[in-house]
Amino acid sequence: MLDERMQNALNEQINWEIYSSYLYFSMSAYFESISLKGFANWMRVQAMEELTHVKRFYNYVIERGGRVLFSEIKSPPNEWESPLHAFQEVIEHEKQVTSRINSLMDLAIELRDHATTSFLKWFIDEQVEEEASADEIIQSLKLNENNPGGLFLIDKDLAQRTFIPPQDIGI
């Protein structure tokens, strides 16, 4: 059985993961509005991946005999000054998520909850990847500032990203 503090913290993280998806869908809509279809595709894939993170936490709380409780999701922004500005927000957001995952891990260790410690390792690794991929795009955008041809090529590249539903979390 999950400790109540752990359950509350995991439920709070579910809210954050849903907000992450909400934010990235909003960024996708922003990129659609400025005709950067590849960027919009990348953000939609990101939004879908965030929903799989929701599902991982959801499954885990239930598996441990806990209760998933949902709360209000704040509204995301809808406009950004530029693609670079949007991706700078992505990385800032992901850094906050990383810090929250680290706090969850700290709590699991404090409670000597070894099962939750093991479960959270997947997210620790995932956050390294999430920050690295956003940073890579930021570097490309910085190199191509004031270069519409470069932006077009990045857009084409980001159009290639596909969503692969993980097989281990069910529907």
* Helix/strand/coil (H/E/C) assignment for every residue in the chain: CCCHHHHHHHHHHHHHHHHHHHHHHHHHHHHHHCCCHHHHHHHHHHHHHHHHHHHHHHHHHHHCCCCCCCCCCCCCCCCCCCHHHHHHHHHHHHHHHHHHHHHHHHHHHHCCCHHHHHHHHHHHHHHHHHHHHHHHHHHHHHHCCCCHHHHHHHHHHHCCCCCCCCCCCCC
Total binding residues toward ligand FEO, as defined by CB under 6 A: 7
State the residue number with the nearest CB to ligand FEO: 53
From 10, 61, 97, 120, residue interacting with ligand FEO (rule: CB under 6 A)? 97
Residue (50 or 155) nearer to ligand FEO, CB:
50
From 17, 23, 57, 116, residue interacting with ligand FEO (rule: CB under 6 A)? 17
Q: x/- site string to ligand FEO, residues 51 to 70, per CB under 6 A?
A: --x-----------------
Q: Are 138 and 154 in contact (CB under 8 A)?
A: no
Asked if 11 interacts with ligand FEO (CB under 6 A), we say no
Asked if 155 interacts with ligand FEO (CB under 6 A), we say no
Q: Are 15 and 71 in contact (CB under 8 A)?
A: yes
Asked if 20 interacts with ligand FEO (CB under 6 A), we say yes
Asked if 137 interacts with ligand FEO (CB under 6 A), we say no
From 130, 141, 151, 158, residue interacting with ligand FEO (rule: CB under 6 A)? 130
Asked if 134 interacts with ligand FEO (CB under 6 A), we say no
From 47, 94, 104, 154, residue interacting with ligand FEO (rule: CB under 6 A)? 94
Cα 164 from chain centroid?
Answer: 15
Binding site for ligand FEO (CB under 6 A): 17, 20, 50, 53, 94, 97, 130
